[in-house]
Structure 1
């Protein structure tokens, strides 16, 4: 009898444990909550408009950068400006010693006088010969010889005149002026330096920086994403419809003037997969200088997208997941495709979720697929705009 009673007691305990286990499974309770369904904060996803920003390193160059090189050889006699000065078109920059060239001018002038006298002599000889030919005193051959001498004298005169014009031009070249408005660069040569048209470095450079050009590269994928939804049949037409861009300066401040992307190269670099692009920025106040650097910030406006708080997702082997609640208040582990962009706290979801889905936004490390929860609806925690810092 005692054995039968013990067996009955053990069987009763087993049945009770089995019933309790089935009850817990039906409720989906968290074992850590003592059999009670845990409460989790959830958020309903709603389409929003957002602006993502991408930054690309850029180098700055003036609209026009001209190398100033001497066209004649000589010693630098005077420098009329200083490095960094702003100059106007036609303003005098350098003077090269012109003593040798002045001597060439005087020599050319003397050659002209000699050639003019030779022409005069040849003309007199022709005037004397022509009547004699008419009277058959001298032959036609001698007349042709006189005419040839006159032509040779005239050719020598023309050559002398060309030499004088060339010497005078060289004399003008000793006074070097600026071909454009802009800022003066450095001076590799100083007063007394011997320079010529074959020197390795220019005397200086003049940079017209009224409009600055920012050169940067963008990978092929980003370029396609940037332009695929723009209107226009050609790349040029698409670029014309791009929004204005910002220039982030090295101190992380934002340049006051907006820029515009003008061109994109027609060839993709096979080694880097990058496309070279150019944006222009007004620079009337001269705050930007050639050779400077910065970052081009491109805006990407996205409409009716879903945003997921980063703490609501987790990553496994490069894939992102969230927990979506179903009609039975059970969580479903769901893979999503995202765009991180420059947003600090949220991801832009490109696939895996739809408007109206409810995701768990807190405590996801304690969840398991198929687990039942008690949802608590949160407010719209994600900002509907992305405003970059202008610090």
Structure 2
């Protein structure tokens, strides 16, 4: 009985194994896999060149004393908004007050002498020379008194411009002078902020070729409004304008200095901070391909081009710049060619695929939460 059961089990296993082999033999071979593709087209695009910039107020005025003295009173605090003519500091001028009293006494004495000699001259008792000499001494005494009085006024320091108070390195009671290494403070007029950045010689050459104009100033006037990326990656609300560029290349750095200006009505921008100036450049009939379609091989950028028989062939391309989603191709592709947009890692030359037309990806301004730390960066936006 046991022997019969064992033989039955062996027979069942043999039947199952033979059925499995038969099903494997009957499974049809796998055909070409579907892949998304896109037809290459020429289109107008706007590329952005980005330059790291230092921000400064339109006026950064150092406040320095004209006389030596102890700081008697500080009337402002760091970061405070001040108006032109507002009192900032009061220096102790007790010694100067004593000098002023002595000078005033000299003026009175000289006036008394003139008053005494004048009637004597009228009666021809003394010569006019004596009176003129006394008048000269009076004028000299008045000049000395005016000089001391002006020096005393220098002890009262007011703001020369509207702006924001910087740091206050000195405290009340500190001795300061006109030769002090640090200023009393700095007043920054930040209604208009200036962004300073530099281009190297190659970038400067591209700039002069891109924008029309017989002079640098004319080229600057033809540059569209520029934007500013803040340190948190967000784009500043107000557009700016390129205002100046240095006429000579800095021999030490090999760069040309630019200045862009931005309105700052909400006081968002502060002197001493940094940002990224973005210069828009118009490109006509550019070829754009999705970044996912491009792969690197041995240091070269490549794409898979779909042939007429639906096989793929790798092709080397050269990209000029990037956007958040696309590469701008300068060499290697022509309008009308069909490329694979995704899954390139699964392909190899000569492999057959089933092309499926992919929806065109929206080409937009690069994400605002990404800020380049390099000197320059280029991004792209496509015009529809």
Task: Specify the alignment match of 1:389 in structure 2.
Answer: 367
Asked whether the 8 Å contact 1:246–1:258 carries over to 2, the reply is yes
CA shift digits 1:189-234 (9 cap, x unpaired): 1211222212111111111111111112223333333442323221
Task: Specify the alignment match of 1:20 in structure 2.
Answer: none
Asked whether the 8 Å contact 1:80–1:92 carries over to 2, the reply is yes
- Aligned with 1:184 (options 155, 165, 189): 165
Task: Specify the alignment match of 1:17 in structure 2.
Answer: none
The answer to whether the aligner puts 1:358 opposite 2:334 as a matched pair is no
Q: Give the root-mean-square deviation of aligned CA atoms.
A: 3.0
| More displaced 10-residue stretch of structure 1: 98-107 or 120-129 | 120-129
Q: Give the TM-score, by structure 1 length.
A: 0.77
Q: Which residues in structure 2 correspond to 1:202-217 (within 5 Å)?
A: 202-217=183-198
The answer to whether the aligner puts 1:85 opposite 2:60 as a matched pair is no
State the shift of 1:155 in Å. Answer: 2.6
CA distance in 2: counterparts of 1:43 and 1:296, whole angstroms? 34
CA distance in 2: counterparts of 1:248 and 1:56, whole angstroms? 10
The 3 A distance-change label for structure 1 pair 190 and 388 is same
- Aligned with 1:113 (options 108, 124, 137): 108
Task: Specify the alignment match of 1:218 in structure 2.
Answer: 199
Task: Specify the alignment match of 2:327 in structure 1.
Answer: 347
Task: Specify the alignment match of 1:337 in structure 2.
Answer: 318
CA shift digits 1:102-160 (9 cap, x unpaired): 22222111111222344455556655668xxxxxxxxxxxx9xx555444433322211
The 3 A distance-change label for structure 1 pair 42 and 192 is closer
| More displaced 10-residue stretch of structure 1: 304-313 or 34-43 | 34-43
CA distance in 1: counterparts of 2:34 and 2:69, whole angstroms? 89
Q: Secondary structure at the match of 1:340?
A: strand
The 3 A distance-change label for structure 1 pair 317 and 148 is farther
Asked whether the 8 Å contact 1:63–1:208 carries over to 2, the reply is yes
Task: Specify the alignment match of 1:48 in structure 2.
Answer: 43
Q: Secondary structure at the match of 1:228?
A: helix
The 3 A distance-change label for structure 1 pair 185 and 363 is closer
Q: Which residues in structure 2 correspond to 1:5-84 (within 5 Å)?
A: 42-84=37-79
CA distance in 2: counterparts of 1:389 and 1:315, whole angstroms? 24
Q: Which residues in structure 2 correspond to 1:88-103 (within 5 Å)?
A: 88-103=83-98
- Aligned with 2:286 (options 305, 329, 334): 305
CA distance in 2: counterparts of 1:84 and 1:36, whole angstroms? 72
Asked whether the 8 Å contact 1:220–1:273 carries over to 2, the reply is yes
The 3 A distance-change label for structure 1 pair 272 and 336 is farther
CA shift digits 1:328-355 (9 cap, x unpaired): 66656543321233x2342111123222
The answer to whether the aligner puts 1:230 opposite 2:224 as a matched pair is no
CA distance in 1: counterparts of 2:216 and 2:360, whole angstroms? 39
Q: Which residues in structure 2 correspond to 1:131-142 (within 5 Å)?
A: none
Bigger Rg, which one: 1
CA distance in 1: counterparts of 2:367 and 2:294, whole angstroms? 25
Q: Give the TM-score, by structure 2 length.
A: 0.78
- Aligned with 2:152 (options 171, 175, 182): 171
CA distance in 2: counterparts of 1:212 and 1:64, whole angstroms? 9
Gaps of 5+ in 1: 1-33, 131-142
The 3 A distance-change label for structure 1 pair 296 and 119 is same
CA distance in 2: counterparts of 1:276 and 1:98, whole angstroms? 45
| More displaced 10-residue stretch of structure 1: 188-197 or 63-72 | 188-197
CA shift digits 1:219-254 (9 cap, x unpaired): 333333344232322111211221222222222222
Q: Secondary structure at the match of 1:390?
A: coil
CA distance in 2: counterparts of 1:48 and 1:332, whole angstroms? 24
CA distance in 2: counterparts of 1:328 and 1:390, whole angstroms? 43
